[in-house]
């Protein structure tokens, strides 16, 4: 750290704060990194964030925004399932955060990521009053959704979530809709999955690779194989979407195309842009990306807390620094790769192995290479066609 600072490098301020306002969930999804993977720290967390922690978090965000003259920050209400915290608590939290930020001249955009089970009229009216954007998790049609996103007793959630999405997407609350989050299962037909998501007119779709790493590989991903099942699943969707991009934004594809054309990535899933996000757990602990919980117990921890530590102090944590220094934190095999500036080593959590920690390529390396080169070829062909028509 001292050497980096001496060279003139400075950490970049956090711009996004993820608040784990409730640590439990009303679904029991098989692939959940919070409850089903390596880190089981949720068991020691209070069920709901206290008002004291919310208010101190609000003050810390404002302190950080003032120190770095941030005109705007983003706060995402998360969990567990954040709607379990209840409308009154959510209202208090959002008003407290915005009030503290307003005092230092910072605007706060607020979003919530929900499984959709409790997304009824009461919450939608509240989110409308508070200008809270709503993202919903949906894995596709009934068969795809109910394959993993089930209640503890085995019942599927598709019918309830579909009804909630109809209330959000097809009526007076559509302006609140930020998009759908879909975790890929390659057993589901890719185009049928995409069509099922499009049926709700989402402004954006996030396709997520199932979380895993070299020590605990994701489903159907043999780390030693050159087979690319996830790229093979995504490519038909890309080809369909690329021909009709007005249908929705698919963020994974959009960010790859941005990177291929020399612009910066806006997501941690791809590229070398510095990580500028901090997580506040239900008890007030400050953590790195919660996705790291898929790696090993304690992987996301910083041992810092909103009652004791500023977000500026968190910026100097070695793990945060590693996620802001780009190629310097990548393995030699990544440096030698022709698509390193686009791939960026892949999602940080997916790089973990028992020998080098996170200093390695993504367990999805082969898939990412195939997907990126496919998109690059399509773009290059169109660029050449445009040049030839001049």
pLDDT at 5: 64
Averaged over 58-73, what is the pLDDT?
Answer: 98
pLDDT at residue 197 in the model: 98
Tell me the pLDDT band of 3, cut-offs 50, 70 and 90.
Answer: low
- Single pTM value for the model: 0.94
Per-residue pLDDT of 143-169, as tens digits, reads: 999 999 999 999 999 999 999 999 999
52 compared with 39, residue with greater pLDDT = 52
User: What is the model's pLDDT at position 390?
Assistant: 61
- What counts of helices (H) and strands (E) characterise the chain? 14, 10
- DSSP labels, 188-201: S-HHHHHHHHHTT-
CATH class of 13-377: alpha beta
Instruction: Classify the phi-psi angles of 272: left when phi > 0, otherwise alpha if psi is within -120 to 50, otherwise beta.
Output: alpha
The tokens of 145 are what? 């959704």
Q: How many CA atoms lie within 13 A of 104 on its CB side?
A: 22
Ordered by start, the domain boundaries in the chain are 13-377
Check whether 252 has a pLDDT greater than 90: yes
The pLDDT score that the predictor gives to residue 97 is: 98
pLDDT digits (tens, 9 = 90+) for 301-359: 999 999 999 999 999 999 999 899 888 889 899 999 999 999 999 999 999 999 999 99
Please give the residue that has the higher pLDDT: either 390 or 18.
Answer: 18
Stretch among 96-110, 217-231, 266-280, 375-389 having the lowest mean pLDDT: 375-389
Q: Which residues pair with 357 in a beta bridge?
A: 353
Asked if 302 and 317 count as a contact pair (C-beta separation under 8 A), the reply is yes
């Amino acid at each position: 750290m001292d050497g980096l600072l001496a060279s003139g490098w400075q950490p970049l301020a956090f711009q996004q704060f993820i608040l784990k306002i409730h640590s439990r969930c009303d679904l029991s999804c098989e692939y959940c990194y919070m409850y089903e993977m390596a880190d089981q720290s949720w068991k020691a967390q209070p069920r709901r964030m206290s008002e004291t922690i919310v208010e101190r978090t609000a003050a810390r965000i404002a302190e950080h925004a003032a120190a770095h003259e941030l005109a705007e920050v983003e706060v995402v209400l998360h969990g567990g399932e954040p709607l379990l915290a209840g409308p009154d608590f959510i209202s208090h939290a959002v008003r407290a955060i915005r009030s503290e930020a307003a005092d230092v001249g910072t605007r706060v955009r607020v979003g919530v990521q929900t499984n959709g089970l409790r997304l009824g009229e009461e919450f939608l009216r509240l989110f409308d009053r508070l200008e809270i954007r709503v993202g919903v998790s949906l894995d596709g049609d009934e068969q795809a959704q109910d394959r993993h996103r089930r209640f503890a007793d085995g019942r599927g959630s598709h019918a309830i979530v579909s009804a909630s999405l109809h209330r959000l997407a097809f009526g007076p609350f559509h302006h609140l809709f930020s998009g759908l989050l879909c975790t890929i299962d390659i057993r589901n037909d890719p185009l049928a999955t995409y069509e099922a998501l499009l049926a709700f007119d989402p402004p954006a779709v996030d396709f997520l690779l199932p979380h895993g790493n070299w020590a605990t590989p994701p489903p159907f991903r043999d780390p030693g194989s050159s087979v690319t099942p996830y790229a093979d699943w995504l490519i038909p969707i890309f080809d369909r979407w690329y021909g009709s991009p007005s249908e929705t934004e698919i963020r994974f594809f959009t960010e790859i195309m941005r990177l291929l054309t020399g612009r910066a990535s806006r997501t941690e899933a791809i590229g070398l842009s510095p990580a500028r996000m901090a997580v506040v757990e239900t008890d007030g602990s400050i953590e790195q990306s919660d996705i790291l919980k898929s790696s090993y117990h304690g992987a996301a921890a910083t041992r810092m807390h909103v009652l004791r530590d500023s977000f500026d102090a968190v910026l100097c944590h070695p793990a945060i620094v590693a996620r802001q220094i780009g190629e310097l934190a990548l393995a030699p095999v990544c440096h030698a790769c022709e698509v390193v500036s686009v791939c960026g080593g892949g999602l940080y959590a997916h790089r973990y192995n028992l020998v080098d920690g996170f200093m390695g390529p993504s367990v999805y390396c082969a898939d990412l290479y195939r997907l990126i080169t496919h998109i690059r070829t399509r773009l290059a062909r169109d660029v050449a066609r445009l040049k030839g028509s001049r």
